[in-house]
Structure formats: structure tokens, C-alpha cells
Amino acid sequence: MTRRHRPYRWAALAAAFALAFTLAACSSGSKEGAQEGKSTLDLIQERGKLIAGVKYDTPLMGYKNPKTGEVEGFDVDIAKALAKKILGDENKIELKEVTSSTRIPMLKNGDIDIIVATMTITDERKKEINFSDVYYTAGQSLLVPKGSPIRGIEDLNENTKVAGVKGSTSVKNIREKAPKAQVLEYDNYAEAFAALKSGKVDAMTTDNIILMGYAQQDPNFELVGGLFTKEPYGIGIRKGDEKFTQYVNDFLKELRESGQYAELYRKWFKEEPPAE
């Protein structure tokens, strides 16, 4: 009896395993599979929520306020305005933390719908993702302790340690413009700034608006050297999603024309936005 029914038992087990595998594959591939043939815009509308990748460690742009626990900044407000445009409510948004090195992988994996995270538009990055039109233009600079002998990139030599962040254009730029300097890479801006405060490095480099936020937090530090690069920020969008890219570009145009862009700019940077 046992021998006679053994094939049926194995067949049943095989069927069960096949079903489990199929369900697991559907589940694990749901993010990518759901995206095939659909614009991100359609997915957001179906879900009823925009999932935006933002920084948590970048004052003025994307920063988790330790006092309130809220994530705030210019980038965050831009993302909220997009959620309102798509879904009619700026609160229909989930803010997920990204860093310079994780933001593109998270977008490509389907963990987030967009990147609004001080991301410079570059030809290299365009090979992996789409970008919106420029919504903010920054420039790379240096942050040093007040009284530091470092006044610009010309003062960075073999005895100078400079903190940068992994995955950022800033690290590549500083190595090109100050090849003798020792560049130490950190996972995020908070770690880089902590290294500067503790004296492990002599300077920190990234975009001026990011450094400005840290200088506002601690008046013992200052920006020096002016701007030695141009960093046009764009919103990161899944590669090939032209429908959503156009939608975001139209949104940015409307934001400027309505005056809301200038309002947000003044709110965070305490000055008028540059002329078009």
C-alpha cells in the first residue's frame, strides 16, 4: 500500500513546492513586475501614495529633525508638492531615507518612485536613470573650522585630509582638483561632519547648500574657497519612463509659474531664487 501511493505523495509534494515557488517569485518580483509596461505615475495613482527617496542628513534639503522626528527641507517640500499634484494631498507620501550611494539602486529596485535628494545630473547617471529638468543649482565648496589656514582648494596638499561622501560627485571632483589631498569617504554627511568636528579631517567638501546647512547648525565652521563646480540637481526617475518624466517636468514648470517654488526657496534659504 505504502509503495503504491508513494508516487502520488511525491507528486503532491512537487506540486506544493511549485506553487510555493511561484507565489514567492510573484511576491519578490512584484515591484519590478508591476512596473513592466506601466508608468510610475500609474503605479502611484493605483497605490494612492508617492514613495520618495530623500536624504535624512542634509540640513535645509532633507533632514530628520532630532527635536521633532520629522523629515524636513527644500527637497522634502518639493516631493510633498508633487504628491499633492498627483494625489490631491501632500500627506499621501512616504519618505524613505536614501544616501548618495543607495539612492539609484533603491530606485532601480522599485523601493522608491522618485529620488529628490540633492542629486547632480550627470551623463554617467543618465545611463542608469531618467532625470527631470533642473530644479536647483548648487556648486561644490569647502567647510572648515573658523580660523583654518585652508581658504580654498589651492591649500589642499598631501598633509590635508578632506572628508567626502561615498557615491557623490564631490569625491570625484576633489580628487581631480586637489590630487595631492588625502580624501576620506564616509557613508553620509552626518558622519563626514562628525569627522570634521572631531579633527579627524581638516575640511569637508560637498555642494555649498549642504555645507551651508551644517554651518548654520554650528557657527564654529565656515564655507571657504567659493564654488569650484556647478551642480545642477534633478529629480531621479526610473529609466525609460518618459511619461512620468514629462509629468514631473510639467509639475516643476507649474511650481515656478505659480510662485510656490519661490515661496519654498525663501522658506529654506532666506533669499530670493536666482533669475531664470
CA–CA separation, 274 vs 135, rounded Å?
11
pLDDT band at 3 (very low <50, low <70, confident <90, very high): very low
Pairing relationship of beta strands 114-115 and 50-54 according to DSSP bridges = parallel
CA–CA separation, 114 vs 17, rounded Å?
36
Mean pLDDT in the chain?
89
Residue 37: the pLDDT is 72
pLDDT score of 9 more than 80: no
Of 21-30, 93-102, 104-113, 124-133, the range with the lowest mean pLDDT is 21-30
Higher per-residue pLDDT: 37 or 73: 73
Residue 164: the pLDDT is 96
Residue 192: the pLDDT is 96
Tell me whether the CATH fold assigned to 35-137+232-269 matches the one assigned to 140-229.
yes
pLDDT band at 138 (very low <50, low <70, confident <90, very high): very high
Q: What is the pLDDT of residues 20-66, one digit of tens each?
A: 444 444 333 335 434 567 899 999 999 999 999 999 999 999 999 99
Residue 26: the pLDDT is 39
Distance from the Cα of residue 210 to its chain's centroid: 12
Q: Where are the domains of the chain?
A: 35-137+232-269, 140-229
pTM: 0.81
Residue 23: the pLDDT is 41
- Specify which residues 131 forms β-bridges with: 236
Q: Quote the CATH superfamily of domain 140-229.
A: Periplasmic binding protein-like II (3.40.190.10)
Q: What is the pLDDT of residues 144-197, one digit of tens each?
A: 999 999 999 999 999 999 999 998 889 999 999 999 999 999 999 999 999 999
As a whole-number percent, the residues of the chain with pLDDT over 70 amount to 87
The SS3 of residue 101 is coil
C-alpha count within 13 angstroms, C-beta hemisphere, residue 139: 9
Residue 38: the pLDDT is 87
Residue 271: the pLDDT is 87
As a whole-number percent, the residues of the chain with pLDDT over 90 amount to 82
In this structure, the number of other CB atoms found within 10 A of the CB of residue 28 comes to 10
CA–CA separation, 205 vs 140, rounded Å?
7
What does the pLDDT average to over 202-219?
Answer: 94
Helix, strand, coil percentages (3-state) for the chain, rounded to 5, are 45, 20, 35
Q: Quote the CATH superfamily of domain 35-137+232-269.
A: Periplasmic binding protein-like II (3.40.190.10)
User: Are the C-beta atoms of 221 and 214 separated by less than 8 Å?
Assistant: yes
